[in-house]
Each structure stands twice: as C-alpha cells, then as structure tokens.
A and B are shown apart, each in its own frame.
Chain A
Amino acid sequence: MNSKDPDLLLQTAPFLRQGMTTPSAMMDVIIALAPATLAALWYFGNSAVLVISASIAGAVLTEMAFVPRQRRRMILMDGSGLLTGLLLGLTLPPGLPMWMAFIGGAVAIGFGKIIWGGLGNNLFNPALVGRAFLLATFPIAMTTWTAASEGFWTFRLTNFDFPFTYTEIDGLTAASPLGLMKFDQEATDVMQLFFGNTAGSLGETSSLLLILGGIYLYLRRDIDWRVPVSIVTTVLIFSGILYSIDPLIYPAPLFSVFSGGLMLGTIYMATDPVTSPTTPLGTWIFGIGIGLLVILIRVFGGMPEGVLYSILLMNAVTPLIDRFTQPRIFGHQRSKKT
C-alpha cells in the first residue's frame, strides 16, 4: 500500500459537488448567445464584428485596469467581463461608431460592476447600465437603425468614425419595427420578427435563436424559468387587453412579445442571478413588474422601446422584493405585527 494507490481512501466533505462555478455559468450564457451572435453576423455583416468586439474590448480592458494586480488573472478568467461586453454589444445598433461601443463597455464594467462592489454585488445589470449610459449620452447614434446588410463586406462608414466625432448619414437608415409601430402605426409581420430579418439592435432581431439559447440555459439550470415566463405572459395579457380595446392603435400581443429587445432582455438580462430576486414569489413579482412596465413605456411613454428601463427599474426594487417575500422558516411562527 502506498499513498498513490491506497486501499482505504480517506476524504473530508463535501462529497457531492454541484459542478457549477462562475466561469462555467458565464461560459453557458456565452454558448447560449452564440447563435444570436452568428445571426447578427449574418444580418449585419462586419458591423456586428466591429461593434461587439469594441464593446468587449472596453469591458475587459476596464476590468483589467480596475482590479488589483494579484487577483487580475482570476477575475479576468471568470468570463464575466467578456459576457457583459458581448451582451452590451448585442443591444447596440449596427451603425454605432466603435469608440462609442468601447465607452459603453467601459461604463458597463466601471460603473455597473466595479464601483457597485464587483461581481455578485452589483445592483443593476452591468450591460444595461452601459446601454442606458450610451442611450442618454448619444441619443441620435443609439437610435439610428440601419437595415440588414447585403453582404458581409458592406461597410457602414459610421463604424469607423474618429473617436469623439459622429457623422449623421441619411438614406441608409431604417426604422425599427417598434419605431414604425409607435410613430406610424405600422405593424411588422410577426414571422419576420421571429426569424430576425428586421432593423434593430445587433442581437435582438431573431427571437427564435434567442429562445433556443434560453432553452439551453434552462436545461443547464443557469436561469430561473419563472422570470421569462412571467414577463412574456404579462406582456401577452396586458397588450392583449389593450389590443382588444382598439386594434388600430395598440400593437398586437405577439408583435409586442417578439419585437424590440424583449426576448434578449427577458432571457439573458432579467434572469441575471445577481440582480433578480431569489424567492419564487419574488421572481413572479419581478417578472410581472417588468412586463407591465415594458408595455406602459412602449405604449404610453415617449420612447418606442422600454425593456431597458423596465429591467433597470425592477433591478432597483429587487432588494425590497427579496425582503418582503422571505419564506417562513420551518418551525417558526410569523412574527406578529405590533
């Protein structure tokens, strides 16, 4: 008997390992986003590569600059910076200058994650913080949509704008389905929305691929099914009520579900385990809140799209929801109100 091949193996607990680590969870989400990213390449050509890599570069380089040198390797290798950059990149319009995407990535990690306490402590979804910053900072560039490219090598000149400048281009722009709906009451065909051949942000156009990724994440137990289900159901019911009141003004329920960033936000951002409630009841409240806010902002607000702000607002109340939905501890009585 020797130590390399013992007859009796002595070990300490734990014996059952879950196997889910931060890098593996991040990797799962990146794999789940791969089809949507490839679709972005297919529809928007080289612009997708440029914008997404610029936002990833912004996120990762900022993370590198902020974290202490001793832990740099560990923190960078967990892939969360990469994922934030990728998610942010997928929410950006294809014609965005690369320098803006870079700043978005830097703000997403710098403000959205590092300053609020780092991985696992951030109050808001970092990618959405980056997008909210960009939307408030460069409103024109962030809402100028261009139609899908003809081939991979059709360049969008605005991608190459010199840092801190922006050239507005007429002619090549196309309204997003939500913009058409809001300002012209013109609905886009739901099947077109489902497969993604519309104007919009890089990764939000194809609902089908996003849902496929979401199913993969659910099977890998990375996301809570209640969040997407509650959001989509709420949106369906609420917009269904409005649609039945006046089909000419209000968008159809299916259109509401498949248009804009709803699928991307619902499946990949609202389900962020750090910024969503932990209790089942809380998760339902969270999802219903997002669904209601999305329709309220889209239909009655000034902007065509409301997914971003709905998720951020519900992120903000997540600690409260968690506090009020704590389950009763087994064997304890609920404390009497005094």
Chain B
Amino acid sequence: MLFSNTEDYEEFSKGIWRDNPVFVQVLGMCPMLAVTNSAVNAVAMGGATLFVLVGSSFLVSLLKGWIPKQVRISCFIIIIATFVTIADYTLLALIPTVHKELGAFIPLIVANCMILGRQEAFASKSTPRLAVMDALGMSSGFMVALLALGAVREIFGTGTLFGIELFGPAWEPWVIMILPPGGFLTLGLILLVFNWMSQRKAMFLERVAEAEGSSQ
C-alpha cells in the first residue's frame, strides 16, 4: 500500500494544501510565472519537477550519512543537477515541441529553491521512505499550483484548455493573460483567494474555540 501508515500520509498531504510550496511558502516563483502560459507546459514542468524532486530527495536521504555538513549544499546541487539533466534529455526525446517551449526553464529547475529547500529541510534529516513521501507531496502541490495558473491563463488567453477549443471561434482572447503580466496578475489573485480562505478558516476556528470555552 502507498499509505500504509498515517505518518506517510501526513508527509504526503502537507505539501498539497497546508504547506503548499507555491501558495503558502511562495517558493519556485520563477518557473511558476514563466512557463504557465498553457496547461500543457504547466503539466510538463510539473512532471519534470516531480521527477527531479523525488529522485534527489531519495538519493539525498540515502547518502545523508556520507555528505559532510560543510559541503552539503554543493552535494545537493550536484545530485539535483544529475536528475535535471536526465529530465532535460528525456523531455527532448519524448516531446520536443514542449521542450522547445519550456526552453531554458528545464535546466533552471536546478535553481528551483523549492527543491533545494526540501533537501536541506527534510530529506537530509529523514528516512528515504518519508523523504520520498514528502517529495511526492511537495511536487504534487507544485503541480496543482502550476496547473491552476496554467489553466486559468490558457482559458482566458487563448480560449482553449490543453489545446481543445472551449468557446468557439467568436471568443476574443485576453492577450495579456499569455504575456508575463498575466502570470503576475493571476498568481496574485490566486494567492489572494488562498489567503482569504485561510483567514476565514482561522476566524472560524477561533469562534469555535470561543464557543467551546464559554459553554464549559
């Protein structure tokens, strides 16, 4: 079973919602804004990041006993770069058109602070099993965020989703949405909704706690 105990599930699920790398930690903004002008690009980027994060988290947590503390960052980077190179050439071989659109942002996964952050904060301190769970959760959360942004931008910017036309030929594309400003605007709005929701939740919990306190 994938989630044979609650600890695994806990590490997996926190990355999707509670500690979402994009919406809560606001990490990995560079690929987030750069490649999300269509849903396909977003999925490809999310998939590449998932592969790199899971692979390097696993390897780092296996090798954590051998990596000297002083040079750990450079060791992490070398491990991450290995997986990025694999992802780069795999994408080039399998889907060259998407690879061309993503361009420099595939090699730049190395510099994604979310990935290095997980190695430093989690993988280098835990067992391989939990590290993989954490990596899976975090990259799924990243994928969800990329897809949310990519879908909104593609729907407004071209009237399509995954290349399928949604509204017919009369649809007037919102050109700004596939340009960089559209990325910033959409991300800002999504963050706004996210913060608003967590604020509402906190207020609700506070009220519940109050009601419980007064009833006793």
Q: For B159, give the chain A residue with the smallest CB separation.
A: A164
Q: Mark A158-188, 1 if CB is under 8 A from B, else 0.
A: 0000101111000000000000000000000
Tell me which of A115, A133, A136, A165 contacts B172 (CB under 8 A): A165
A165 and B171 within 8 A (CB): yes
Given contacts A136-B176, A165-B171, 14 further A-B contacts (CB under 8 A): A115-B192, A136-B175, A136-B179, A136-B181, A137-B174, A137-B175, A137-B176, A137-B177, A164-B167, A164-B171, A164-B172, A165-B170, A166-B170, A167-B170
- The answer on a CB contact under 8 Å between B167 and A139 is no
Contacts of B185 in A (CB 8 A): 111
Chain B residues near A115 (CB-CB < 8 A): 188, 192
A164–B170 Cα distance when bound, in Å, is 8
Question: Which among B172, B177, B181 is the interface contact of A166 at CB below 8 angstroms?
Answer: B172
Identify the closest chain A residue to B192 (Cβ): A115
A141 at the interface (CB under 8 A from B): yes
Which residue from chain A places its CB closest to the CB of B185 in the assembled complex? A111
Complex formed: what's the CA distance from A165 to B176 in Å?
16
| B5 CB to nearest chain A CB (Å) | 44
Bound-state CA distance A162–B192 (Å) is 30
Asked if A152 lies at the interface with its beta carbon under 8 angstroms from chain B, I say: no
State how many residues of chain B have any CB contact under 8 Å with chain A: 13
Q: Is the CB of B170 within 8 A of A138?
A: no
Residues of B within 8 A of A166 (CB): 170, 172
* A138 partner, pick from B172, B179, B188, B192, beta carbons under 8 A: B172
Q: Across the interface, do B174 and A138 meet the contact criterion of CB distance under 8 Å?
A: yes
* Bound form: Cα–Cα A162–B185 in Å: 25
Cα–Cα distance between A162 and B168 once the two chains are bound (Å): 13
Q: Which residues of B contact A164 (CB under 8 A)?
A: 167, 171-172
Are A139 and B175 closer than 8 Å at their CB atoms? yes
Q: Give the residues from 163 to 206 in chain B that come closer than 8 angstroms, CB to CB, to chain A.
A: 167, 170-172, 174-177, 179, 181, 185, 188, 192
Q: Which residues of A contact B177 (CB under 8 A)?
A: 137
- Bound together, the chains give a CA A115 to CA B185 distance in angstroms of 12
> Contacts of B188 on A, CB cut-off 8 Å?
115
What's the Cα separation between A321 and B60 when bound, in Å?
50
Please, which residues of chain A bring their CB within 8 A of the CB of B179? Answer: 136
Listed from nearest, the 8 A-B pairs whose CB atoms lie closest are A166-B172, A165-B170, A136-B176, A137-B176, A137-B174, A165-B172, A137-B175, A139-B175
Cα separation A332 to B176 with both chains bound (whole Å): 50
Complex Cα distance, B158 from A164, in Å, reads: 12
What is the 8 Å Cβ interface bit string for chain A, positions 223-242, against chain B (1 contact, 0 not)?
00000000000000000000
Chain B's closest residue to A100 (CB) is B172
Chain B residue at minimal CB-CB distance from A166: B172
Min Cβ gap B199→A in Å is 14
Interface residues of A in 94-137 (CB under 8 A from B): 111, 115, 133, 136-137
* B167, closest chain A residue (CB): A164
CA distance A165 to B171 in the complex (A): 5
25 interchain pairs, CB-CB under 8 A: A111-B185, A115-B188, A115-B192, A133-B176, A136-B176, A136-B179, A136-B181, A137-B174, A137-B175, A137-B176, A137-B177, A138-B172, A138-B174, A138-B175, A139-B175, A141-B172, A162-B170, A164-B167, A164-B171, A164-B172, A165-B170, A165-B172, A166-B170, A166-B172, A167-B170
| Chain B residues closer than 8 Å to A165, beta-carbon distance | 170-172
> A136 to chain B: which residues have CB within 8 Å?
175-176, 179, 181
CA distance A133 to B189 in the complex (A): 15
Contacts of B171 in A (CB 8 A): 164-165
Docked Cα-Cα span, A82 to B38, in Å, equals: 37
* B65-88 contact mask (Cβ, 8 Å, vs A): 1 or 0: 000000000000000000000000
